[in-house]
Amino acid sequence: MILVISLILSQMNVFQSYAVTNEISGLKMKVVDAEGNKPEYNGKTTILTDEKDINLNGDASVFFEAKGTSMDLTNIEYTFFKQETLPNENDFNNVKNWNKVNYREFINGDVVKDEPGYLTWRSYNVAHMATMSNKNGSWSNRANVYKNPNNKIQFQSTKTSKSVEEYIPEGKITKSVFMIPMDIGVNGGPYPNYKEASKFWGYIKPSETGTYYFGINSDDGSYGYIIDNSGKKKEIVSGFFYPHGSKWGTKNVPVKLTAGKYYPIYLEYFNWGGSAHFELYYNKDCKVSNNNKKVVPENWFYPSRTDEPGEISESTFEIDYKAKFPTEPGTYYIGVKSGNKKGIYGPFKVFPKAPINMVKEVEKNQFLLNEEFTINYKIQPQPIPSENILPESYLKDKEIVLVMDTSGSMAWDIERGGGSGYTWDNNGNKVHYYLDSKGDIIYYRRHKIKYDLYKQGNEVYYKDYVGNIIKPRITIAKKAAKNFVEKFKGNEKVKIALVPYDSYAKDVTFNNGDFANLSDENQYQQLINKINSLQPDGGTNIGDGLRKAYYKFSNSNQNTRKYVILMTDGEPTFHSYIVKKFDWGDGSYYYDYYLGYGSHYYIDGGGNYTTDEDREYANKVAKDLILNGEHKIDSFMIAFSNDADKNELKNIANSAKGYYKEAIDGNALDEVYQKLAKQIQSDLPIRGINFKEIFPQGINIVSASKGLKIDGQTVTGDIGSISYRLNKQTNQFEAEPFEFFIKVKPTKTGDYTLGKCGNDDSTSYIDYEDIDGSDGHKEFPGVDISVYEKQPPDISANLKNHKTDNDKYNLDLTIDEPAKIEIFNADRYLIWKKDREKNSNQYPKTFSIDINKSDVNGNYITIKAQDKFDNVVEETVPLIKLKPIEIKSYAHEIIKGILDIETQKNSTITSVKINGIEVIKNDVLTNNGEYRLEEVDLKENDNEIEISVKNYIGNTATLKFNRNIEVQEPIEVELGILVNKEFKKESQINLVKGYSLNLAISIKNIKNQEVVLEIGDKNSIEVSEIEVYEAVYDEDKISIGNKVDAKINKQTYKIILPKVDNYKHYIIVYKTKAKIDAKIGSVVNKIKIDNNLMTSSVINIVELPNLE
């Protein structure tokens, strides 16, 4: 007989985890991104299929909403599954840390709010119970005690009775819930027939928010609980329901309560006769005892309208909760659960965004009145791992259309700003000149004089009467365009088209194609020659130039990146149309504007001035074709003159959602084209970075970097773009940092925060288009400065490790004059001080100060210095924290890890050394004090990490951290059988009814973990003789070696491995038998390590084959 052994893992089709389809009634979820709401989850698994619903634009959040009475709403938890496939039951089970959704609870009309000092009460007839006798434990049995309820339910006072007659007048009916110790029944009391049993319920409303602990004094038995903020039942006492004398009892469980909120409370009390006592006590914020207990105030209690004792009254639970969506690129599903009910919402795709770090620095933070100082702004794009970017998003061909203005005004001299001006003759006389539309005739004082062309290098200019060189705009524009084209020469992925336009757009082709292939030398030269041949003439039909540019992409691949760069020296003065009609109603003409492909149309316009139709046509083409046409086009509009109405071109750029650029002279035009070339060459561009900062009154703006504009207290400007390029050596997208400055002068004394207004950090920021196309917004940190009439103390500081005491820092503090010095932690708690010295001869002076690490918190300390003139200065010194190191990979003894550094906001990391080796080439800017270093080299065991930081005013910290790195390779689990002590991995396991087989589990890279074998059907399969062995290698064979002393529970099949220092390879052998009466079919066994499912197997139970 041959047994075929079958092993089927959970990843195979035979064992599939079932889909998650439970319903969480009443729960709604919606994801909201920069563009608005996504389709809503409404209690049932919601799978999205439309790409516009799946793709997230900009930062996104998840909103949870619910309102209902289901207790499911009190236990909503969620997680984000980052995976391409729909989460299944195993995925849900493998999540260790779920996020809790907060809820609010409202009691619907059950609290009797106008009856404070009462609880709802029901008494029970205990005539059937023996007085002062607990025979057979009858008084300890709730069913016996509460067997006969009295019909009447009423409110009972929560005052504490001080005498028998106050509590139970004439021995008939009790008048309060609580009483002090007293003799009522037999053995000294006035009413020998007294015995009772009661239940009380209602609400308790504390006067203060906090954590409470409750306890009970009772004679005899009692029980009670309170429902706290978590919605959970918190027992006051347990095991207290039996006859006893006056006794103190408490479970001392923390009960978190909020002031003014009503919490359900339930109490039980019985007395079998004799003495009596029942009081409820509490203590706040620490455990309750006989020494600190306080009586719960009478007015904290409120009765309930419900008539079933002990039940929690119906509540309404409301959820209004917001969670931030993960920002790491990838595909996500949102998993939600409440108990055994589960749901899925998604998928959603997060696209990569550019990580931009920014700081703002000043030389110091104290300045004298009218002392000019410079604020330096630094922007540092952080590397983006290439695996975070889809290749199809950057490995694209690029097509560019240069739309060039060749109108008559392009013959004018850019220096003189138009077609007329003044110059001087040989005698020094001032003379008037004018260039005609050809640019070759000059008029002086009504005399027409024609001049020859003047050639300088390869460019053509004109000379005026006295020999001054006149530079027509067209010549400058052609040179800038050719320099732009040269940047792409030989690039097989870039093609460029040319559209000249004046009163209408011209068509330019290259070997009968719309675009010149720049990797083809012949076509490249054709493009240069066609640019050289451009001549100025006619009007300015910007709309027609854009229309012609749009149709250049008619035969383009949809995935090609498309760019239109339009240059003009003025506003539109012509428009194109197909029908011109007269409106007899208002006596004006109206047009059907031409947006088509061909050349059968008409033109009209102001010619030398702009009409409403000229503007309207240009904006319509920009919006209807460039923006909303069937091609995705990035457009740039360049205003090349210093006298045009720039607002017109800005409006056209806005209609196309494009970018507006200005160039007032030839150098500026060339610079604009070169920046655009760099941006287009970028694999991942960040476009349209616009800066703005509003300065407070009392701070005058003196000057700013080129390109920034000053308007009163506001500085604005287009500061360019960021161009990410793929570095194939580092396999990262990298971009160059850049800086700019603003120089200011304080005119009033006082304290200022530059870039911050109150708690709003929105007065200094950049707006931009991120690499995923979403709108980006990032704020510069605020900078605190002080302005004085007289020079305050000047201080500098450096924080470092203490040489001998690991529990302390050492601070070197240098100050230039005697002063009272105080040092505070981030909570403004004083941690060190020194009075001002009288002797000033030894200054500047450096103090070496020891600071206890336990005294500091947050990410900085503050130094305050006050001199003899009461001038006060405060400066901060950064602290540095290193989060636990995350191991990213481990192969061939090379450890790659991630360093997460935290320090003061607006700080720069100047050095990071790991085991003496510098790992950053240049200073790196933090993002709100945080910085992550990816893929750093570490070694196993001890690592010394030294980090240096400089804050925005130049104070520094250099701290060393020792980190022990213990690396564990992934646990590998294989299933098979044991044959002659050799482990054999098998792909099939069949088990015959009535027979046994030694099944085996091979587990590599395991240490002190717990292994559990879960048997799917114990009625069909039994497991015995579980043993653990060390694995022994013999060439290609794996066999069992020495037996391991593991703790094995044969009932639960739990195996606790012994504690060892190194990772091991074990083989677990378990004898498995299919019972003789087992059902034919499959049984699933699961192998878990530390409660994580590692793999599963399916054992097929079969009949013994008929061998006849």
pLDDT digit string, tens, across residues 362-377: 998 899 999 999 999 9
Most confident of 134-148, 480-494, 576-590, 751-765: 480-494
The sign of the torsion formed by the CA atoms of 250, 251, 252, 255 equals negative
CB atoms within 10 A of CB 969: 10
Q: Report which DSSP code applies to 239.
A: S
Residues 6+ apart with CB under 8 A from 1085: 1013, 1014, 1015, 1016, 1096, 1097, 1098, 1099
Collect contacts of 363-366 with beta carbons under 8 A, ≥24 apart.
363/953, 363/954, 364/794, 364/953, 364/954, 365/783, 365/784, 365/785, 365/786, 365/873, 365/875, 365/953, 366/785, 366/786, 366/787, 366/788, 366/792, 366/794, 366/873
Confidence of residue 422 (pLDDT cuts 50, 70, 90): very low
pLDDT of 43 strictly over 90? no
Alpha carbons 577 and 718: distance in angstroms, whole number: 35
Answer for the pair 244, 219: CB distance below 8 angstroms, yes or no.
yes
More confident residue, 57 or 997: 997
Q: Report which DSSP code applies to 479.
A: H
784: preceding bond cis by omega (within 30 degrees)? no
Pairing relationship of beta strands 46-47 and 341-350 according to DSSP bridges:
parallel
Q: Give the SS3 label for residue 649.
A: helix
Q: What is the pLDDT of residue 276?
A: 95
Residues 6+ apart with CB under 8 A from 716: 690, 691, 692, 708, 709
Alpha carbons 1066 and 272: distance in angstroms, whole number: 63
What does residue 571 show for φ and ψ, rounded to 5 degrees? -85, 165
Least confident of 493-502, 737-746, 1001-1010: 1001-1010
Q: Give the SS3 label for residue 630.
A: coil
Residues 6+ apart with CB under 8 A from 806: none
pLDDT of 138 strictly over 70? yes
Alpha carbons 619 and 653: distance in angstroms, whole number: 8
Alpha carbons 1086 and 1077: distance in angstroms, whole number: 23
Alpha carbons 455 and 739: distance in angstroms, whole number: 40
The radius of gyration of the chain's CA atoms, rounded to the nearest angstrom, is 42
Alpha carbons 1039 and 1002: distance in angstroms, whole number: 10
What does residue 485 show for φ and ψ, rounded to 5 degrees? -60, -35
SS3 content of the chain, % helix, strand, coil (to 5): 10, 50, 40
Alpha carbons 663 and 481: distance in angstroms, whole number: 13
Residue pointed to by tokens 């900085």: 860
For residue 579, list its beta bridge partners.
592
Structure tokens at 878: 């950064």
Residues 6+ apart with CB under 8 A from 71: 231, 317
pLDDT of 452 strictly over 80? no
Q: Give the SS3 label for residue 669.
A: helix
Closest-CA residue to 783 (of 898, 867, 671, 875): 875
Q: What is the pLDDT of residue 469?
A: 59
Residue pointed to by tokens 């694999």: 683
Residue pointed to by tokens 């709003």: 760
Q: What is the pLDDT of residue 467?
A: 57
Confidence of residue 486 (pLDDT cuts 50, 70, 90): very high
366-368 β-sheet, strand order: 366-368, 783-788, 750-754
pLDDT of 813 strictly over 60? yes
pLDDT of 468 strictly over 80? no
With vertex at residue 994, the alpha carbon angle to CA 988 and CA 1000, rounded to the nearest 5 degrees, is: 40
Q: What is the pLDDT of residue 940?
A: 83
Listed in order, strand segments (DSSP E) in 544-587 are 561-568, 575-583
Pairing relationship of beta strands 149-161 and 176-183 according to DSSP bridges:
parallel
More confident residue, 880 or 16: 880
Indicate the burial class of 612 (C-beta count within 10 angstroms; 0-12, 13-18, 19 or more): exposed
Alpha carbons 240 and 223: distance in angstroms, whole number: 6
CB atoms within 10 A of CB 216: 24
Answer for the pair 205, 141: CB distance below 8 angstroms, yes or no.
no
pLDDT one-digit tens code per residue, 308-321: 654 444 466 788 89
Confidence of residue 1081 (pLDDT cuts 50, 70, 90): confident
Is the pTM higher than 0.85? The answer reads no
Answer for the pair 677, 488: CB distance below 8 angstroms, yes or no.
yes
Q: Give all domains of the chain, ordered by start, each with its CATH number.
A: 28-106+318-350 (2.60.40), 118-311 (2.60.120), 356-391+686-787 (2.60.40.740), 398-406+474-682 (3.40.50.410), 416-470 (no CATH), 795-858 (no CATH), 880-965 (2.60.40), 972-1102 (2.60.40.740)
Confidence of residue 432 (pLDDT cuts 50, 70, 90): very low
Alpha carbons 603 and 591: distance in angstroms, whole number: 11
pLDDT of 652 strictly over 90? yes
Closest-CA residue to 970 (of 830, 1095, 795, 845): 1095
pLDDT of 381 strictly over 90? yes
Listed in order, strand segments (DSSP E) in 175-314 are 176-183, 196-204, 210-219, 222-227, 233-237, 247-249, 255-257, 263-271, 275-284, 294-295, 301-303
For residue 623, list its beta bridge partners.
none
Sequential DSSP letters for 696-762: PTTEEEEEE-TTEEEETTEEEEE---EEEEEETTTTEEE---EEEEEEEEE-S-EEEEET-BTTB-T
More confident residue, 242 or 421: 242
pLDDT of 85 strictly over 70? yes
Q: What is the pLDDT of residue 472?
A: 82
Mean pLDDT of 702-730: 90
Query: What Å distances lie between residue 535 and 431, 475, 504, 506, CA to CA?
Result: 27, 9, 14, 12
Mean pLDDT of 520-534: 94
CB atoms within 10 A of CB 390: 11
Structure tokens at 826: 């981030």
Residues 6+ apart with CB under 8 A from 671: 663
More confident residue, 572 or 462: 572
Answer for the pair 234, 228: CB distance below 8 angstroms, yes or no.
yes
Q: What is the pLDDT of residue 107?
A: 58
Alpha helices in 965-1038, H assignment, sequence order: none
Answer for the pair 531, 494: CB distance below 8 angstroms, yes or no.
no
The sign of the torsion formed by the CA atoms of 915, 917, 919, 924 equals positive
Alpha carbons 715 and 875: distance in angstroms, whole number: 27
Residue 253, amino acid: V
More confident residue, 541 or 392: 541
pLDDT one-digit tens code per residue, 257-305: 888 888 889 999 999 998 999 999 999 988 999 889 999 999 999 998 8
pLDDT of 713 strictly over 70? yes
Mean pLDDT of 418-443: 47
Q: Report which DSSP code applies to 286.
A: S
Alpha carbons 909 and 920: distance in angstroms, whole number: 9
Alpha carbons 419 and 434: distance in angstroms, whole number: 5
Residues 6+ apart with CB under 8 A from 51: none
Q: What is the pLDDT of residue 175?
A: 94
The sign of the torsion formed by the CA atoms of 593, 599, 600, 603 equals positive
Residues 6+ apart with CB under 8 A from 202: 111, 112, 118, 119, 120, 264, 265, 301, 302, 303, 304
What does residue 408 show for φ and ψ, rounded to 5 degrees? -60, -35
Q: What is the pLDDT of residue 823?
A: 96
